[in-house]
Amino acid sequence: MSLHLRLQRIARFFTILSSGLTLPLLAETEPLTLEPGEALEIPADDLFNLPPVVVFQTSLGDIPVELTPGTAPATVANFLRYAEGGLYQNSFFHRSALKQDNSPFVIQGGGYFFDLTGEQALVSEVPAYDPVVNEPNVSNLRGTIAMAKSGNDPNSATSQWFFNLADNATILDGQNGGFTVFGEVVGGGMTVVDAIAGLTRYNLIQQLGTPFNEVPLTDNVLNVSNFVTLTSIAFLAPEISNIVFPDGGASYFNINASDGIFRIEVSGDALPGDYRVQFEGTTLGGTSELAERTLQITPLVQPPWYETAVALGDGWRWFDWFKSFKPVGEDWVYHELHGWLYVPGDDPSAGLYLWDAGLNRWLWTSETLYPWLYVFGPEGGWVFFFENGSPGARVFARGESGEIITEHEF
């Protein structure tokens, strides 16, 4: 695809750095309330206050960067505004600069992108928001990312950023009010940064104009595929590990953490109560934080006649409330965690149908032609009308009111 000019001049940079700061245990928040058999998913970002990690997905590989809102809050917020808005998509590294001794200095991007919507690729300037205030609190060392800006104007940074290829503190920390570092390359990303810096640099001012006099290309043909492009900036969630129940109760919970999601499953036999859980979140850059939550297991809402029922032991209770619904000699029994069980006698172990309110599903033991089945759940009691003793009835009756509803309204 041939490359045509459509650009305005810009002078901005853009960078990322990480502090590696280990934060204290987060304060307790609202308890996470679950019922036996319930599952809950929580994004890791809702559990921790860790610095964000972004991944520059380039045509030569990924560059993970841990941002540092602790030392450059306004700058990080500014960068995330561009990144989350997709403004860096199809942008490219337009500058690979050397020091006076010809040693590596910086690679720069965030200022220009390829507009691929037409028949020919056009070079356009990344739309800029208002400049961000300068926050020069961290030195420009190798592996950091910092904001670029206009000369003689410390508070002029907008969209452009650069990666420091060497320890550039003596050059950049005092120049033009200092250059704001807001992140650091982590997870082996400097291999990609150095690969970009190692590409041949081309002076394209004749073809493209200023400021394209130090453009890194993979080949000497002026083609979009030979530029180092940035396809997107992704967000990398922290890893969750070291899950501990300091007061016990771990056997009631199945906890998994993957892809930035913290999933908690509660077993159907979990006893009501509060259970503390502590866990650690760690970014790719090694920044860690401990968090604690209270998992509050609430009992299923019991029917109003629960206390008057005859206790059978192990949580089972017998009710003689539904004799008009069943043949003489057949009993209904209720379990505080598992709902109602229809049995052909006095032995709860010989049940035919069991609705497990904790697991929220049917447990089958055999078949029956008996057309009635009462079950209890969080919304109250229900009488199920079965056809030929099979699940999938077409109508139900509300246990409390007797209201008839369709299967789809249940």
Q: Is 355 left (phi over 0), alpha (psi -120 to 50) or beta?
A: beta
Backbone angles phi, psi at 138, to 5 degrees: -130, 140
The percentage of residues in the chain with a pLDDT greater than 90, rounded to a whole number, is 45
- Whether residue 127 is predicted with pLDDT greater than 60 in this model: the reply is yes
pLDDT given at position 233:
95
The tokens 């304060």 sit on which residue? 27
The domains of the chain, with CATH numbers, are: 3-21+51-236 (2.40.100.10), 306-409 (no CATH)
Rg (CA), the chain: 32
What's the whole-model pTM score?
0.68
How confident is the model over 354-382, as pLDDT tens digits? 444 444 544 443 333 333 444 433 333 34
The percentage of residues in the chain with a pLDDT greater than 70, rounded to a whole number, is 66
By CB neighbour count within 10 A (0-12 exposed, 13-18 middle, 19+ buried), where does 333 fall?
buried
Residue 123 near residue 224, CB atoms below 8 Å? no
- Whether residue 215 is predicted with pLDDT greater than 90 in this model: the reply is yes
pLDDT given at position 303:
57
**Beta bridge partner(s), residue 144:** 184
- Whether residue 159 is predicted with pLDDT greater than 60 in this model: the reply is yes
Average pLDDT over residues 258-287: 86
Average pLDDT over residues 8-32: 36
Q: How many angstroms separate the Cα of 73 from the Cα of each of 126, 219, 233, 264, 346?
A: 22, 39, 19, 33, 68
Average pLDDT over residues 193-218: 95
